[in-house]
Structure 1
Amino acid sequence: MADAPLRSLFQQRFGEAPDLPEILATNPEITRLAARGSCRHFTPDQIDPAILETLCAAALCAPSKSDLQQRDILIVTDPGLLRDLKSLLDAQEWIADAPAMVVFLANNRRQRQLQAWHAQPFPNDHLDAFFNASLDAGIALAFFMIAAEAAGLGCCPISTIRNHLKEVRGLLDLPDHVFPVAGMAVGHPLRAPEISARLPLAKTVHHNQFADITKEEVSAYDTRRLAGADGPGWSEAKAKMYASPQRMDFADVIREIGFKLD
């Protein structure tokens, strides 16, 4: 079957595969996306700065809410700054091997500047301002990841950067209304990343109305994901992870830098 590689990848990922239309069944880009995985093992080779600049340009081609462009990307390659940033994230030891990091910034500051420069009011100073800038940064992150992997690089998003908002803002000299949504470790992969099994498509792709997943269906996914290995299943591991307080001061810091969350 011409669609065998893509079908096999979807089966491995979801335990099932959708009906594959002929126009997509052998599409190399779709197949590459189906095979992707986060990279946490890098060679010591440095990345050409021009490559990082080009990847950022590709990422900033991403859609932006109302063309407001409320996202920036900060490339971190300075050895001292990179060391200091990694030291904040040392709970994830693999980050130490990443030759470069980029930080995706939500930037609502620029819109406020535009309002002032054009003598316009800013009546939308509420939760939506925070949300729009955050989403813009997240979309740019996804575009960067796709571009980096297309260039043969490996990468992995780092949400724990938000555990240290004050310290990161100080290191990167970020002004009010600008904050890191996520970091990204980037480098040449030491080995091919593993494909992480996902929840079944039947419960995560909805048609016309939402259909909730059952405990039994999650249990079946746990079994498939473990594939005979020992240890807790995905659901138990994630439940335990979220049973501990995380980022309890996040809203306080966001308010401190000027956002209103009501």
Structure 2
Amino acid sequence: MAKAGNWTAVKAALTRRFGAAAERLTDAVAGEPPALWQALASRGSVRAFRDPPPTAEELHMIAALALAAPTKSDLQQRDIVLVTEPDQRDALAALVSEQAWTAGAPAFAVICANHRRQRLIHELRGREFVNDHLDAFFNASVDAGIVLAAFVLAAEAYGFGVCPISAIRNRAQEASDLLGLPDHVFPVAALAVGRPAEEPEISLRLPLNATIHDGRFDDTGQRQAITAYDARRAAEQPYARQRRARELGEAEPYTWSEDKARQYNLPERADFGAFIRAKGFKLD
């Protein structure tokens, strides 16, 4: 029997994250909530860590648990590179130095998509690989994403804190060289891993009626949902600084949608497609 959580704590966390409309969810589900539900409802990313750092044995255990996650057609197209050696760890942190906090991360787990093994299997069995198109890249990427989520769950269940770092793809070739990634293997995301130095904050999310769809996708209320969410974020969880304020000026109020619009108003990872093709993937 799974350990039970507490509905009061689940309701408080979901309401904090999604707004008042989330309160009714806990009233409609029978029985006691699993402890995992409570942990998921209240989880947050950790960017400050304390000693001691994770041991190799702890990281290997968490990685093994993550790799127990589902995988498309049992193809197992995902690997994990654990980075703990100080010089390599510092070099990886330097690649994502626009996020200054990463310099204090005691360990990294880099989640990689791996389509190299599938091609080796075809060589071993003497079978032609005839599906060399976009789906090969996509399947490996999704497998890696599943393991990324599983690693987060396993690490946090043990008491560690984690924070995903997609910025590793900003300098994907340099990261690939640092980690020795061969053709058909590429980094999807890094995870900073360690013992949290502070309680993580619950990040506010879009209201559930904007992101959960019954039967058919319907985004007719997106503008209103974004506007309401912007107001809530600005009032309850404002940004500490405005993105690209020097070029784009100060906005008042500075909202979530303004931040995301500014983020994708600047070219980023325009070379990622070329990097992936250079790894041997065909994206047709």
CA deviations on 1:8-61 (whole Å, 9 max, x unpaired) are 1111110021533123x5321101100000101111421111100000000000
**Secondary structure, aligned partner of 1:22:** coil
Whose relative contact order is higher, 1 or 2, with alpha carbons under 8 Å and at least 6 apart?
Answer: 1
- Asked if the contact 1:5–1:31 (Cα under 8 Å) also holds between the matched residues in 2, the reply is yes
Aligned partner (choices 250, 265, 270) of residue 243 of structure 1: 265
Matched, 1:89 2:93: no
**Cα distance between partner residues in 2 of 1:104 and 1:79:** 19
Matched, 1:222 2:230: yes
**TM-score by structure 2 length?**
0.89
**Cα distance between partner residues in 1 of 2:62 and 2:232:** 35
Q: How far apart are 1:231 and its partner, in Å?
A: 4.9
Alignment-mate amino acid for residue 96 of structure 2: L
Aligned to 2:16: 12
**Cα distance between partner residues in 2 of 1:234 and 1:178:** 34
Q: How far apart are 1:216 and its partner, in Å?
A: 2.3
Structure 1 segments unaligned to the other structure (5+ residues): none
Query: Following TM superposition, where does structure 1 have runs of at least 4 consecutive aligned residues deviating by more than 3 angstroms?
Result: 228-231
**Secondary structure, aligned partner of 1:220:** helix
**Cα distance between partner residues in 1 of 2:7 and 2:181:** 48
Matched, 1:36 2:58: no
**Cα distance between partner residues in 2 of 1:74 and 1:3:** 37
**Cα distance between partner residues in 2 of 1:190 and 1:143:** 22
**Cα distance between partner residues in 1 of 2:253 and 2:167:** 24
Alignment-mate amino acid for residue 210 of structure 1: F
Percent identity of the aligned residues? 49
- Asked if the contact 1:46–1:99 (Cα under 8 Å) also holds between the matched residues in 2, the reply is yes
Number of residue equivalences = 260
Alignment-mate amino acid for residue 136 of structure 2: A
The worse-fitting range, judged by mean Cα deviation, of 81-90 and 223-232 is: 223-232
**Secondary structure, aligned partner of 1:138:** helix
- Asked if the contact 1:158–1:183 (Cα under 8 Å) also holds between the matched residues in 2, the reply is yes
Matched, 1:119 2:126: yes
**Secondary structure, aligned partner of 2:227:** helix
**What are the equivalent positions in structure 2 for 1:122-133 lying under 5 Å apart?**
122-133=129-140
Aligned partner (choices 144, 147, 154) of residue 147 of structure 1: 154
**Secondary structure, aligned partner of 1:19:** helix
**Secondary structure, aligned partner of 2:65:** helix
- Asked if the contact 2:113–2:140 (Cα under 8 Å) also holds between the matched residues in 1, the reply is yes
- Asked if the contact 2:69–2:150 (Cα under 8 Å) also holds between the matched residues in 1, the reply is yes
Q: Please give the root-mean-square deviation of Cα atoms over the aligned residues, in Å.
A: 1.3
Aligned partner (choices 206, 210, 213) of residue 203 of structure 1: 210
**Cα distance between partner residues in 1 of 2:253 and 2:164:** 25
Alignment-mate amino acid for residue 25 of structure 2: D
Q: How far apart are 1:237 and its partner, in Å?
A: 0.5
Alignment-mate amino acid for residue 106 of structure 1: A
- Asked if the contact 2:81–2:111 (Cα under 8 Å) also holds between the matched residues in 1, the reply is yes
- Asked if the contact 2:226–2:257 (Cα under 8 Å) also holds between the matched residues in 1, the reply is yes
**Cα distance between partner residues in 2 of 1:131 and 1:88:** 25
Q: How far apart are 1:147 and its partner, in Å?
A: 0.5
Matched, 1:138 2:160: no
The worse-fitting range, judged by mean Cα deviation, of 131-140 and 39-48 is: 39-48
**What are the equivalent positions in structure 2 for 1:42-121 lying under 5 Å apart?**
42-121=49-128
**Cα distance between partner residues in 2 of 1:247 and 1:14:** 31
Aligned partner (choices 156, 160, 163) of residue 156 of structure 1: 163
Q: How far apart are 1:172 and its partner, in Å?
A: 0.8
**Cα distance between partner residues in 1 of 2:115 and 2:253:** 43
**Secondary structure, aligned partner of 1:195:** coil
Q: How far apart are 1:192 and its partner, in Å?
A: 0.6
Alignment-mate amino acid for residue 142 of structure 1: A
Aligned partner (choices 144, 164, 172) of residue 165 of structure 1: 172
